Amino acid sequence: MAPNRAYCPIFVHCSELQGFGLGFAVAREEDESQDLAWHSVASWTWDAQDETCGICRMAFDGCCPDCKLPGDDCPLIWGSCNHAFHLHCILKWVNSQTSQAHCPMCRREWQFKG
């Protein structure tokens, strides 16, 4: 029926809408569909001081050389010295040390931040 109304006024005077030319109604009772849906975009980043891992030199927001997917699958870990590394990188590092491991950045004794 709608296309037949070619000669009907499309817009009414704004004043007749009591000052509102537009409305963005949300979730009207008879209709579940939303009248405003805002799909936005964000990027995630590790909240770290450095940009790259001191061990593998890859970006924190990327992943360690052993991983394919960044983020949850290749997390960062902080030491008590506040240096951050890819978890996989520092684990490898720690495991490769014969005695007590030290932070590769500051040489302080490595302790996972509690």
Q: Distance (Å, rounded) from C-alpha 62 to C-alpha 55? A: 13
Task: Say which entry of Zn ion, another protein, none residue 90 contacts (CB below 5 to 8 A, set by partner kind).
Answer: none
Establish if 57 lies at the interface with another protein (CB under 8 A).
no
Q: Among residue numbers 26 through 55, which ones bind another protein (CB under 8 A)?
A: 26-27, 34-48
Q: Which helix (H) or strand (E) holds 89?
A: helix 87-96
Q: How far is the CB of 15 from another protein (least distance, A)?
A: 8
Q: What is the largest CA-CA distance in the chain?
A: 87
Task: Say which entry of another protein, Zn ion, none residue 106 contacts (CB below 5 to 8 A, set by partner kind).
Answer: Zn ion
Q: Distance (Å, rounded) from C-alpha 57 to C-alpha 4? A: 66
Q: Among residue numbers 84 through 103, which ones bind Zn ion (CB under 5 A)?
A: 86, 88-89, 103
Q: How far is the CB of 90 from another protein (least distance, A)?
A: 15
Strands 76-78 and 84-86: antiparallel
